[in-house]
Every structure is written in structure tokens, then in C-alpha cells.
Amino acid sequence: MPIVVGPGIEIGGGVTVSAGLQLRGVLSTAGQAAYDATTVGNFFAVSSTDYGNVAAQLTSITKYVMNDLQMAVSPSGSWTANFAQAYPTSVATVPTGTYIIGFTCRQGGSSGNATPLISTAFPPTASYTAIANSPAMSSLNAQNYFVRKAPTTATAATSYLGLVSSSTTPLNNSSLAGLQAYYSPSGPPYTSWTSWTTSSMFYQVLGTPDQQW
């Protein structure tokens, strides 16, 4: 009988070594096809099930900004298109050595693109730029889910997360209320910020220190 010495590693009559669960391997057939068709480092749309599998089955996953319960709050109000938001440091600080591998956000009643943002400084002195591409949000009045194909670099310093959408999006008026956030209508790169503590676009980001692809 083979001897199991670790996740995906067996020693028997011969030696079999495998890498354990990998990002592509936890996706559905449709998710794997989308993964294969996507440029390395870019985000692509997946089902809620695929997103959940990435979050649950890969190792050392952290959910940043909003947790699952906060993402499920009924929206109240809407956020102006193309206004970026820098989320509070208490929920949106990503440590050095983190790979950003997925995100989910809510879309309003018209189509648009979501751009996850990142910065190594926090407003009012900061420059937020795109983590990668700006995938399309096709599920209207609902959450949209995205996974990132094989990012090649992790964060090189402590970083802060933000988001901008090209269309009007729903707001969560309770989960982060009172926490110090900022917004910017300045356009990319986002460098001009105004204090904002009332409400936030629905947003969750998946990160891990472990390269699993």
C-alpha cells in the first residue's frame, strides 16, 4: 500500500508526487474552459459555485473587504458610475506576498465593467490602479463572480483595495458605515480623494500567499 506523506504526495512501489489542489482543478468544466481561454494574470467570469470552490478548496484563502453575510445584505441606494472607492484599511489591507485570485461585486440594472483597484498607499495621498483587467458584469441586479488566471506576482508591499465600475451599482449602507473610506471621480489612475464614511459598493476579494496554479 502507498504511504501518504502529505497532500497529493504518495510513496509506494514507485514515487508519485502531485501538487495537490490547483485553481483550475477546482473549477467546473465551463470554468476550466474559461480559464483556458483567458490571458495569464487576467480575471474571467465564473459561476457562484466555482467562486465558492476556489474560496473553500484552495489553501490559506482570505476574504477581504466584505464577508459573505455583508455581501448578502439587501442593497439600498446606488453608486455613481466611474466613481472609484477606496475601502477602509480595517477591511481592505492586503499584506505583502499576497496573490489576488478572485473577486465578487454587485451590478445594477445596466451592463458595465468592474475594475478591482490596488495601491501601496492609502488616501488622501494615494494612487490606485487596476489590479489587472476590467471584466464585464453580465448578471444584472445581481452578484458577479470572477477568478484570476495564474497571477505571476504577489503584492510587493502592504497594499489597499478599491473598486470602480463603469455603470451605476447597488450600495450597502450598513456593513462598513462609519469606517473611514474615500471616493474619487478623477479617473485612472485615481489620485484625488474625498472622505466618505456612509456606504460602500458590494465587494469581496480573494487572496492567498500560496501559489496554487
DSSP string across 186-208:
S-SSB---EEE-S-EE-EEEEEE
Q: According to the model, what pLDDT value does residue 20 have? A: 60
CATH number of 27's domain? 2.60.120
Domains of the chain: total:
1
What is residue 17's predicted lDDT score, i.e. its pLDDT?
38
Residue 11: predicted pLDDT = 39
pTM of the predicted protein model: 0.90
Instruction: Give the Cα-Cα-Cα angle 106, 206, 162 (nearest 5 degrees).
Output: 60
What's the pLDDT score for residue 21?
82
Question: Euclidean distance between the first and final Cα of the chain, in Å?
Answer: 29
Other beta carbons within 10 Å of 106: 22
**Rounded to an integer, what distance in angstroms lies between the CA atom of residue 38 and that of residue 112?**
19
The sign one gets for the Cα dihedral 110, 53, 28, 35 is: positive
Domain range for 84: 20-208
What pLDDT is stored for residue 122 in this prediction? Answer: 98
Q: Looking at the domain assignment, is residue 12 inside a domain?
A: no
- What is the mean pLDDT, run by run of 10 residues, along the chain of 213 residues? 44 44 96 98 98 97 98 94 98 98 96 97 97 97 97 97 97 95 96 96 98 96
Q: Map residue 11 onto helix, strand or coil.
A: strand
Q: How many C-beta neighbours within 10 Å does residue 47 have? A: 14
Residue 3 lies in a domain: no
Q: What is the pLDDT of residue 65?
A: 98
